[in-house]
Copies of this chain bind each other. A is one copy, B any other.
Amino acid sequence: MSLRVAEHLETQLDAIIDRLGQYVACASVSADPAFEHGMQAARDFLIARLGEIGMENIQLLDGGGHKAVYADWLHAPGKPTLIVYGHYDVQPPDPLNAWETDPFVLTRKGDRLYARGASDNKGSSTIAIESLAAYLAIEGGFPFNVRCLFEGEEEVGAVTLPAIFERYRDLLQGDLVLSADGGRNGFWPAINVGCRGVNAMEVTLKTSAVRDLHSGRYGGTTRNALHDMARLLSSLHDNDGRVIVDGFLPETSLPSAEARRHVAELGMDEEAFFASFGGASHGYPDYSAIERLMLMPTLEINGMWGGYTGPGSKTVIPNTAHAKITIRLVPGQDPKETAATVARHLEAHAPAGTSIEITSDRGGAPAYNLAEDSPLVIAADRVLREVTGETPVRVRSGGTSPITSTIRQELGIDTLMFGFSLPADGVHAPNESYAIESIREGIRCWPLMLTELGRVWAAK
């Protein structure tokens, strides 16, 4: 494995940190229109840097929201195309008074760099860009075509990204995506081979009573929407925490022996996991906590409310109750179909004399799965073995990475999350930071990843 590019990058560490400092100084908070100047500055920074390193055809992609920055290098005709993904927007810095340093000034303390975006995603994006730079500088070109896409709406739900994929379909043709986003959630060396999907719904239950009733005048004679909602919500799980909605979890979506073996290899310390937040273990009893998190779906009531919730007491019999529900999905569970299955359960279990209204505020995202024989997995496995001397474990996120689902849906191709964030970085929180060691690891792994991916593709 050629280490020339990585070794060159190692000598450039101070310059790389300087450039990360320029990048985080662009206060690119996508959620707050007051930061539009910072969004503009971040786009300008990317355009300038991508031009400097030799990327071409640089332009803004406009999906109707914050524009994305595009660049490409297409000098490998007949070869596959890799799309490198990152995002230039950051979370708001609030609460400002909790910051020990200026959130938009990269500040080194010991072996860490502090700033909003230092880790998510400017730190990891910098690794990607500097790796491309060094690769072009040292090798003179890539073993395949490369397109870069740095979007500006990741922290606000990437709302116009599908429109960008739609409008710029020709520019965004590619075979695989390597994402600078994502992180190493406590396991290393590790390959992110998937994540759970998600869907959300809101349920309103109404009795047939035309108004709330006084318990002195009606109590005992008629239905109470809160009793009925409590009973309805209780019908979703058994005492052990299994979801008992018919058809919710098809037999074919149960975790494979291989997936369970991968999870077992993580060797998670369950005791330490539960101790970290004080929670009790609860859920599908035939699976370990880490299996439940990574390989099994979950159905959570996120909110419920109804009746009188102010001070003191009120003898009201409410005629309406509400609940918010989200589901986390595993491969084989279609977000819309699974939500419809839950909706049918709720409708079937609502007692006579009540009516149910169910709304869903988004279409949801399916679970994402990277096959063991994906060139991305094969290449990442080789790189991480080489760099760490250990066998990389396979990890799945219990959360949802809508970007991987969106890309698969819009472009029909696979994505590997190959960011270098760590849980200790405190992304989204005040005093976000990035370990200098993470940059070192990143600039070692990314060039090797480009090389290995070229080899895997060439061998096909």
Contact = CB atoms under 8 A, between A and B. Distances in A.
Given A220-B298, A278-B208, A304-B304, A309 B284 contact: no
Max chain B Cβ within 10 angstroms of own Cβ: one of A218, A219, A351: A219
B280 A223 contact: yes
A277 B321 CA distance: 18
Contacts of A300: 215, 219, 224, 227, 315-317
A235 to B, nearest CB: 9
Given A215-B328, A398-B218, A230 B233 contact: yes
A399 B202 CA distance: 34
A117 to B, nearest CB: 21
A385 interface: no
A301 B315 CA distance: 9
A4 interface: no
Interface stretch (A41-49, A68-76, A161-169, A288-296): A288-296
Contact of A281 (B221, B313, B314, B315): B221
B279 A202 contact: no
Given A215-B302, A221-B293, A300-B215, A237 B227 contact: yes
Interface string A219-241: 11111101101110110110101
Max chain B Cβ within 10 angstroms of own Cβ: one of A220, A273, A279: A220
A253 interface: no
Contact of A307 (B207, B210, B304): B304
- How many interface residues does chain A have, given as a range? 35 or more
Given A221-B292, A226-B304, A227-B233, A280 B398 contact: no
* Total copies of the chain: 2
A279 B216 contact: no
A272 B233 CA distance: 32
Contacts of A278: 208-210
A321 B222 CA distance: 25
A273 B218 CA distance: 10
B283 A303 contact: no
B398 A326 contact: no
A282 B352 CA distance: 10
A279 B400 contact: no
Contacts of A326: 215, 313, 315
Nearest to A313: B200
B309 A303 contact: yes
Contact of A279 (B222, B293, B352): B222
A309 to B, nearest CB: 5
B280 A208 contact: yes
A78 interface: no
Interface string A345-383: 000000111000000011000000000000000000000
A301 B292 contact: no
A277 B215 contact: no
A324 B328 contact: no
Contacts of A324: 307-309, 313-314
A419 to B, nearest CB: 16
Contacts of A289: 221-222
Nearest to A215: B300
Max chain B Cβ within 10 angstroms of own Cβ: one of A207, A274, A298, A361: A298
A198 interface: yes
A83 to B, nearest CB: 25
**List of 3 A-B pairs having minimum Cβ-Cβ separation, nearest first:** A216-B399, A280-B353, A200-B313
15 contacts: A202-B313, A207-B279, A208-B280, A213-B277, A215-B326, A215-B399, A220-B296, A220-B298, A222-B277, A222-B281, A230-B230, A231-B234, A303-B318, A305-B306, A313-B326
Given A208-B278, A217-B398, A222-B281, 18 more contacts: A208-B280, A209-B279, A211-B277, A215-B399, A216-B328, A217-B293, A218-B279, A219-B328, A221-B274, A222-B274, A223-B241, A223-B279, A227-B237, A229-B230, A230-B304, A303-B307, A309-B324, A313-B326
Interface of A: 196, 198, 200, 202, 207-211, 213-224, 226-227, 229-231, 233-234, 236-237, 239, 241, 273-274, 277-284, 289-290, 292-293, 296-298, 300-309, 312-318, 321-324, 326, 328, 351-353, 361-362, 397-400
